[in-house]
Amino acid sequence: MKTLLLHLSDIHLQQSSNIILNRISNLASSLNLVAREVDDCYCVLSGDIAFSGKNDEYQQAEEFLRMLKQALEQVTNINNIVFILAPGNHDCDFSLNDEIRETLLTGIVSSSSSRSISPKLVEQVTQVQNSFFKFASLHNQAAFKENRLWYEARFPSGKHTFVFVVLNTAWMSSIKETYGSLFFPTEVLTPSEKGESIRICVFHHPGRWFNEKAFHEFRRFLDSHYDLVLTGHEHDQYYSGTKTIEGKSCEYIEGGILQGKSDSSSFNAIVVDTDLCNFKLHEYSWEINSYVVKKTSKDWQSLSDKVFKPLFYNTAKFSEYLQDLGLTFSHPRKDKLTIDDVFVDPEIFLHIVDKTAGQNSDIRIDNLLEVITKYNFVILIGGLRTGKSVLLKRTYSDLLANNIVPLWAYGAKLPFPNEDNIRSYIRHSYEEQYGTDKFDDYDRLPLQQRAVVIDDLHKSNLKPKGKIALLKELKRYFGYILVSGNNIIDIEEFLDNNARYGTDMAEFARVTIAEYGYRLRSKLLGKWLNAGDPDSADIYSSEKYKQLENIINDTLNRPSIPRTPFYIMIILQAAENKYNLNAASGSNGYYYQVIINDAILKTKRSNKDIDIKVGYLSRLAYYMFKRQLSSISAEDMLLFNNNEYLALSGLLVNCDQILMDLVEGQILRLENGYYKFQYSYYAQYFAAMFMANNIQQSKYREEVKRHVIKICNNIHKEHYLNIIEFLYFMSKDPLIAQTIIDNANKIFTDVPLSDLHQDIRFINDMQANIKTVRISSKPVEETRGVILKAQEEDQANIVYNMADVEEFNELELVGMILYAFASINIFGEIIRNYMGTTDIDCIQPLTEESYKVGLRTLSVLLKSIENGREEIVEEIKQHVKTPLLEHELVEELGKRVFYYSAFVALAVIRTLSHSLGASELTKIYQTIYENNPLQSVQLINLTIRIEQSKYPPVDYILALAKELEQNHFALELLLQIVVVNMSLYSWPIEARQKVVAGLKLQEYDDNPKVITRENKLFPGN
């Protein structure tokens, strides 16, 4: 991971006539090459931002920073831009200087001791910098907040943390400054720990401006505690380094003048590679009409002696797992891609929820490490193939690099929540990930140095109550808990009362991953092209880059294809292999077929050899599926080869050679004498292939049909859902759709469809006492659900039936909810991807049944909230610090019921819209409304139209809003649907203005990190 330190100094901004404002675009453009692989940019301004420290000059500085940030974002691919500000002598307003200050300064210089320096004295002396401090606080709340002599800012970045320490060396400045006149009391500093990654000290004046008596102590302090020192003042770019007798080195970089009386202008760009722990310096200067690189350090300069070396190291095997992408992508220049090869930090959003005030927003966060170190308990929510596991692996490594020792936990293997099980699980996980050494040292670590990272919590066999109990228990052992889960995690909370366990998911900060816009796609493409050849020429200006970029963007213009790294890399793989990808297909089975076919081709010995291996894998996967095996011993593999494959296929082939090729091709894995599929997706794909080939003929027909029905009964479990997706893609057998339809018809059959009118009267009746939710221009977060009454109370019911396959009719309430959502996803897969080959007589009832199962499920959830109001009251009482009066309690109850109900309603509406939405089916959606003239159906249709239309359906929005005026709750849902989409995507100005005026929306502009999205089609979640 690379980070850019953009070092600007001596800008001397005046009230007018600032030529640098006309050069900002050129400055940003000049960084295009060095910033291509950069994720973060720290703009370090090492003093003399203003010309004379006046307020009007800092207004120009505000404009300068705004224009610079905008230009960098437009010209480069930089994801995160942060300003680090230090004052210089020109940032002092010497019109405020007086005799008292002069007398105080004389005394400080004569003593050269910190003993005489009190906070009151510092405040008095620095009154001349008041305008600077006000300006700096706007860009970093911590800037000189505790004192006016220095401040520290920390930023996690990849495997390390950047620690900026900013010194106010201009606190003693005077109008006529001379060499040796300054003094800085190092005793006031709290040095960063030596092991803490990359430490950078920023101040204005180089060494010879300091009092000679005190300077040597100051210099020794810098050499001992910092890795880079950035200064300015002398208007001359210069670089030098030092090394102490202990081997500790420190690099000193002086900045030039960015704006002065003459036309000269210069700055530094320092690229830091946090993975390799080195940096490269580029010195820029203004030549005629542009900034050009004047000098570049010959080699990358090492920072290796500063890198934190952890006490705990992952085993080689687990380190390899942390680099595993989860699928074997084919790449023309590298045999096996790793996470480091292609990882690009995604845009992630932290959901901020204030249930009492009714304010919700999504704030963009630079990286997941930043969230977990601040909030301690974090859940990353997203659907399948959104990159959750890869992001968790990166964060695991980031935690370890920051002296927090993480353990990885697989959601499907989580223990029953009791002390013995958890302690045993911790020890086993530690030994698997770190080896058998130093467990006692690990066990003695304080909580704040221990973390657990749980991948796919939703795959756990624990019920919602059991998951909550486990998370509570884990807090006894870990100071940080990071969990990933699908979008059902929140819904589950509605179905179980976990209050008796003393904790709930409300303590977990919610984070989601956005889809990749143009900027992140460009970065991923750059990393793909550099993989295997990191020293290649500028790939971004190459014809190949332009060609692949066009292919990616043209393919992703199809609404059926998610804009996630998984699909982007498949598009790249197909393009590199000259494979004509069918962009019209949104089937997951199709995209996995592309990957798997390429993996098989790598093992090719002859044309017929491929067909034999595909047949072998499909028989093996089905054999293991029937017996519920995740691996098979070498002895049992021999039995399979002789008794199953050779005997039943009638072929005379060398099974040992086949196995050797498949292991070498990373389709199978041999480990400790056991064979298993390299990835679970491979096993699911080939098991589905065998069933697809035998469901209509051969002696396996009846057996396969029985298995297909059982799988259809269990699509609420992710691995069965995958098999069904693959199976339908390969066979399109009507048995699949019919079985799921039959099951869907049994879901809550005695429950009426939610009309979001009569069934929410209890919500509208409570609104008299509360203030309506008003939504700012920030995106609205799907508010966390409330804990309602438990369905079972004893510990025995914490765990699901451990038998993997359940009969549909035996599903409990949670299972029915999960099945309902899974069936909608499957119906959507069939409807959107096969509508061209499926008759309307099938598409119409399938789409309508999807609406109905979703709306019956919504009725159940709303009824749970209505019946659970007493539990909500108890929750309120437990969380308020001061007892509420009766009318206050009623008001708070009304607010929470409203928000919880809105959450489940929006969850169902969005699931239906995302699964079923296709512009080609507009007539069918209208027919469904004609058959079921409900306001809930109108809201679903509205959501689909907003997400699928190239131009917002303004008239339809305003007409429906008019119709819903008397239905307070439904109108609020409409507002949230519209405002979220308006915040996620760039609407045409005239459409936005008309909707804002027509809906009487109040716009806010109080959060610079509000979500922005580059290409309107589907939201990320």
- Using pLDDT thresholds of 50, 70 and 90, give the confidence band for residue 558: low
Give the least confident one: 115-124, 146-155, 691-700, 944-953.
Answer: 115-124
Q: Per-residue pLDDT for 173 more than 60?
A: yes
Q: Per-residue pLDDT for 921 more than 60?
A: yes
- What integer pLDDT is reported at residue 606 of this predicted model? 78
Instruction: State which H helix or E strand residue 46 sits in.
Output: strand 38-46
For the four alpha carbons of 588, 594, 595 and 601, in that order, the dihedral sign comes to positive
Q: Per-residue pLDDT for 27 more than 90?
A: yes
Q: Per-residue pLDDT for 795 more than 60?
A: no
- The residue whose two tokens read 């064979």 is 675
- What integer pLDDT is reported at residue 789 of this predicted model? 29
Structure tokens at 122: 């510092």
Average pLDDT of the segment spanning 825-841: 73
Most confident of 381-395, 501-515, 766-780: 381-395
Residue with the bigger pLDDT between 848 and 193: it is: 848
Instruction: State which H helix or E strand residue 65 sits in.
Output: helix 55-75
Give the least confident one: 272-286, 633-647, 991-1005.
Answer: 991-1005
Residue with the bigger pLDDT between 882 and 14: it is: 14
- Using pLDDT thresholds of 50, 70 and 90, give the confidence band for residue 1017: very low
DSSP code per residue over 653-688 = --HHHHHHHHHHTTSEEEETTEEEESSHHHHHHHHH
- Using pLDDT thresholds of 50, 70 and 90, give the confidence band for residue 115: low
Residue with the bigger pLDDT between 472 and 776: it is: 472
Q: Per-residue pLDDT for 792 more than 70?
A: no
- Using pLDDT thresholds of 50, 70 and 90, give the confidence band for residue 774: very low
- What integer pLDDT is reported at residue 603 of this predicted model? 86
- Using pLDDT thresholds of 50, 70 and 90, give the confidence band for residue 130: very high
- What integer pLDDT is reported at residue 1009 of this predicted model? 33
Average pLDDT of the segment spanning 697-705: 88
- What integer pLDDT is reported at residue 382 of this predicted model? 79
According to DSSP, the β-strands at 38-46 and 509-513 are unpaired
- What integer pLDDT is reported at residue 500 of this predicted model? 34
Average pLDDT of the segment spanning 609-613: 91
- Using pLDDT thresholds of 50, 70 and 90, give the confidence band for residue 2: confident
Q: Per-residue pLDDT for 492 more than 70?
A: no
- What integer pLDDT is reported at residue 201 of this predicted model? 94
- What integer pLDDT is reported at residue 59 of this predicted model? 94
Residue with the bigger pLDDT between 116 and 352: it is: 352
Average pLDDT of the segment spanning 38-64: 94
- What integer pLDDT is reported at residue 430 of this predicted model? 96
Q: Per-residue pLDDT for 773 more than 60?
A: no
- Which option is the CATH number for 2-302: 3.40.50.2020, 2.30.42.10, 3.60.21.10, 3.20.20.100? 3.60.21.10
Q: Per-residue pLDDT for 800 more than 50?
A: no
Residue 959 is given by DSSP the state H
- What integer pLDDT is reported at residue 498 of this predicted model? 38
- What integer pLDDT is reported at residue 1011 of this predicted model? 27
- What integer pLDDT is reported at residue 512 of this predicted model? 85
In angstroms, the CA 399 to CA 376 distance is 12
Residue with the bigger pLDDT between 669 and 772: it is: 669
130-137 helix and 55-75 helix, angle to the nearest 10 degrees: 30
- What integer pLDDT is reported at residue 787 of this predicted model? 22
Residue with the bigger pLDDT between 801 and 391: it is: 391
Average pLDDT of the segment spanning 857-867: 88
Average pLDDT of the segment spanning 195-213: 83
- What integer pLDDT is reported at residue 333 of this predicted model? 85
In angstroms, the CA 108 to CA 114 distance is 8
- Using pLDDT thresholds of 50, 70 and 90, give the confidence band for residue 224: confident
Between CA 939 and CA 944, with CA 943 as vertex, the angle to 5 degrees is 120
Q: Per-residue pLDDT for 450 more than 90?
A: yes
Give the least confident one: 319-333, 567-581, 704-718.
Answer: 567-581
- What integer pLDDT is reported at residue 586 of this predicted model? 60
Supply the mean pLDDT for the chain: 82
Q: Per-residue pLDDT for 870 more than 50?
A: yes
Residue 569 has phi, psi (to 5 degrees) of -70, -30
- Asked whether the beta carbons of 62 and 138 are under 8 A apart, the reply is yes
- What integer pLDDT is reported at residue 1006 of this predicted model? 44
Q: Per-residue pLDDT for 85 more than 90?
A: yes
Q: Identify the three-state secondary structure at position 551.
A: helix
- Using pLDDT thresholds of 50, 70 and 90, give the confidence band for residue 879: low
The burial of 530, by beta-carbon neighbours within 10 Å (0-12 exposed, 13-18 middle, 19 or more buried), is given as middle
Most confident of 226-235, 604-613, 774-783: 226-235
- What integer pLDDT is reported at residue 805 of this predicted model? 43
Spatial CB neighbours of 285, under 8 Å, sequence gap ≥ 6: 237, 256, 264, 265, 266, 291, 292, 294
- What integer pLDDT is reported at residue 890 of this predicted model? 81
Fold of 344-513: Rossmann fold (3.40.50)
Residue with the bigger pLDDT between 357 and 24: it is: 24
- What integer pLDDT is reported at residue 885 of this predicted model? 80
- Asked whether the beta carbons of 46 and 11 are under 8 A apart, the reply is no
Residue with the bigger pLDDT between 736 and 49: it is: 49
According to DSSP, the β-strands at 301-302 and 290-296 are unpaired
Q: Per-residue pLDDT for 1016 more than 60?
A: no
In angstroms, the CA 182 to CA 171 distance is 9
Q: What is the CA radius of gyration of the chain?
A: 31
Query: Residues 239-292: pLDDT tens digits?
Result: 888 776 566 778 999 999 999 888 899 999 999 988 777 899 999 999 988 999
Average pLDDT of the segment spanning 972-984: 83
Between CA 18 and CA 542, with CA 30 as vertex, the angle to 5 degrees is 155
Average pLDDT of the segment spanning 223-252: 84
Count of alpha carbons within 13 angstroms of residue 465, beta-carbon side: 21
Q: Per-residue pLDDT for 748 more than 80?
A: yes
In angstroms, the CA 340 to CA 323 distance is 7
- What integer pLDDT is reported at residue 958 of this predicted model? 95
- pTM, two decimals, is 0.64
Q: Per-residue pLDDT for 78 more than 90?
A: no
- Using pLDDT thresholds of 50, 70 and 90, give the confidence band for residue 853: very high
Count of alpha carbons within 13 angstroms of residue 142, beta-carbon side: 11
- Using pLDDT thresholds of 50, 70 and 90, give the confidence band for residue 881: low
**How much of the chain, in percent, has pLDDT values that exceed 70?**
84
In angstroms, the CA 944 to CA 267 distance is 50
Count of alpha carbons within 13 angstroms of residue 735, beta-carbon side: 20
Average pLDDT of the segment spanning 906-921: 87
Q: Identify the three-state secondary structure at position 894.
A: helix
Q: Per-residue pLDDT for 181 more than 50?
A: yes
Give the least confident one: 460-474, 607-621, 851-865, 921-935.
Answer: 460-474
Give the least confident one: 553-562, 653-662, 748-757, 885-894.
Answer: 553-562
Domain spans of the chain? 2-302, 344-513, 518-577, 588-731, 760-1004
588-601 helix and 718-731 helix, angle to the nearest 10 degrees: 80
DSSP code per residue over 422-488 = HHHHHHHHHHHHH-STTHHHHHTS-GGGEEEEEE-GGG-SB-HHHHHHHHHHHTTT-SEEEEEE-TH
Q: Per-residue pLDDT for 560 more than 80?
A: no
- What integer pLDDT is reported at residue 499 of this predicted model? 37
Give the least confident one: 614-618, 709-713, 765-769, 822-826.
Answer: 765-769
886-916 helix and 968-984 helix, angle to the nearest 10 degrees: 60
Q: Per-residue pLDDT for 68 more than 60?
A: yes
DSSP code per residue over 573-587 = HHHHTT----TT---
- Asked whether the beta carbons of 179 and 109 are under 8 A apart, the reply is no
Number of Cβ atoms within 10 Å of the Cβ of 517: 15
Residue with the bigger pLDDT between 418 and 959: it is: 959
Average pLDDT of the segment spanning 775-786: 32
Count of alpha carbons within 13 angstroms of residue 460, beta-carbon side: 31
- What integer pLDDT is reported at residue 365 of this predicted model? 79
Residue with the bigger pLDDT between 502 and 901: it is: 901
Average pLDDT of the segment spanning 33-40: 81
